[in-house]
Structure 1
Amino acid sequence: MPSRQKQLVFSVSGVLGFSCVLTAAVATGLPLWITGAVLCRTGAELVNATGPELEKFLGELNYGLFSGGRVKQCGLGGRTTRFSFFPDLLSVIPVVLHVSVIFFCGVVILFSSVVTGFFFFNAFGRPYETLQGPMGLYLWTFISWLCSCLVMILFASEVKLHHLSNRISNFNEENFVFHTYTERYDRSFWLFFLVFLLHGLNFLLIRLAGIQFPFQESKDLDLSGGAADLMY
């Protein structure tokens, strides 16, 4: 590929990498990872609420990695409360798993910044080492791609396997029992899915620039030198 076209491809990849940095940073901070409805089961069972009557006992819940909010409906109007994971919910959430999600979010932001710099470095500079040269782009892009995938997997495990929404809904509740009625992944989760796709697209752009995948090229063995050495 001509150098001008290669510069264009690397520049586009750099812009995509920078978009990943901004998208991951915004998604990490927003309390919009999960949105759902919470049923006040205690109140609904007291009056045998069914059908449209359940709406009087359905509240709202939304949260991210650091904070969230909930509206509790128990038939007497809504109660709006705000909460933060640190330090309020440390006793009810799977701390190690939750911190791992935040950690990998930080890794995605960090290495997306690194790969953005190296894309522009390869577009307009002269790389002189493997980790800074074209082959290194696969490494930094793969790390960012893998970590963005881990963020989604770990967070989904926390929500589904550890019933995170139920734990949050029943936090500090003594008289009522709440149950997750509906829940769905909100914008921040899908923004990380977008980051995952953009890093995958960067893989294709690197290959489009004419750079072979690592370990794809077989090195020719220099047998002549070895044969000459055996003669001495």
Structure 2
Amino acid sequence: MPSIMKILLFLSSALATSLSVLVLGYSMSTQWAETTMECTRRGDTFTNGSALITWKLFEGDLNRDYCPLFGKAEKFEVIPKLVETGEVPSVVLHALVLCLLALCLLFSACSILISLYNSVSNPYETYMGPIGLYVCSSLSACLSVLVLILFAVNLTVTRMAEKLVKHSAGITPADLRNESTEMMLGYYLVIPYTVLSLVAIAVIYIYDQAAYTHRREQQRPTEDAPKEIMMY
């Protein structure tokens, strides 16, 4: 039967990971970024329009105000729309972001199961012990950081927002400039997910160090005993 300390620490780790899953789940359902740009009809000498794109992971909103003609608001599914624009790098990066987020949730679920299993049993030092939790939570934290980098690169380096607006404008040529992107709540919520994954690791590390110290203290009387006594 595990000790009270072990039960509390592993349950605390499971709680931290469960909170991180809730945070990431809400993050994946809300806005991740907004992209704005100025827009004119090709040949105009002044700027008279703008476009605003609100990005979520699976869908988005495009609002064109006289960009290049009159206003129009439309909803779109992100990956199918990017495929239509022909921006292959953007499609690949966005699909990679979604896959990494799915892996984050998978590894977090494994961390929760391992924590709960350890809270009611005493497994050996295998993948079902602290080692397994270290691996799963570390992968969750690392992959979530990679998600932040890839999503930001996809919006700021590739031309997917510009291509999206031009594709929506149809045959009317438009000049786009002064593009700017602001990250929203969904993007920043990945950060607390990463922190909570690291908290789960820290809690189990505390248990691991305490268990190691306890084992050393139990071995010390034997190590310090006289050789004559140990012979019997």
So what's the TM-score if we normalise by structure 2?
Answer: 0.77
Q: Distance in 2 between matches of 1:38 and 1:209?
A: 52
Amino acid in the other structure paired with 2:81 = D
Q: How far did residue 204 of structure 1 move?
A: 1.6
Q: How far did residue 77 of structure 1 move?
A: 5.3
Q: Distance in 2 between matches of 1:22 and 1:179?
A: 38
SS in 1 for 2:112: helix
For 1:151-185, what per-residue CA distance to the aligned partner results, in whole angstroms no more than 9, with x for missing partners?
A: 11111221122133223222243322334532111
What residue in structure 2 maps to residue 14 of structure 1? Answer: 14
Amino acid in the other structure paired with 1:83 = F
- Do the aligned partners of 2:39 and 2:177 also contact (CA within 8 Å) in 1? yes
- Do the aligned partners of 1:93 and 1:167 also contact (CA within 8 Å) in 2? no
Q: How far did residue 16 of structure 1 move?
A: 1.4
What residue in structure 1 maps to residue 66 of structure 2? Answer: 74
What residue in structure 2 maps to residue 188 of structure 1? Answer: 186
Q: Distance in 2 between matches of 1:136 and 1:19?
A: 19
Identity %: 24
Q: Distance in 2 between matches of 1:208 and 1:34?
A: 38
For 1:20-68, what per-residue CA distance to the aligned partner results, in whole angstroms no more than 9, with x for missing partners?
A: 22222332343x111132321337x72524xxxxxx6233210122210
Amino acid in the other structure paired with 2:94 = H
What residue in structure 1 maps to residue 136 of structure 2? Answer: 140
Does residue 88 of structure 1 match 2:81? yes
SS in 1 for 2:81: coil
- Do the aligned partners of 2:141 and 2:197 also contact (CA within 8 Å) in 1? yes
Q: Distance in 1 between matches of 2:62 and 2:13?
A: 40
Does residue 26 of structure 1 match 2:26? yes
SS in 2 for 1:199: helix
So what's the TM-score if we normalise by structure 1?
Answer: 0.77
What residue in structure 2 maps to residue 201 of structure 1? Answer: 199
For 1:75-95, what per-residue CA distance to the aligned partner results, in whole angstroms no more than 9, with x for missing partners?
A: 775311111123232122522
- Do the aligned partners of 1:93 and 1:164 also contact (CA within 8 Å) in 2? no
Amino acid in the other structure paired with 1:106 = A
- Do the aligned partners of 1:127 and 1:133 also contact (CA within 8 Å) in 2? yes
Amino acid in the other structure paired with 2:51 = G
SS in 2 for 1:123: helix
What residue in structure 2 maps to residue 59 of structure 1? Answer: 51
SS in 2 for 1:171: helix
Amino acid in the other structure paired with 1:85 = V
- Do the aligned partners of 1:35 and 1:61 also contact (CA within 8 Å) in 2? yes
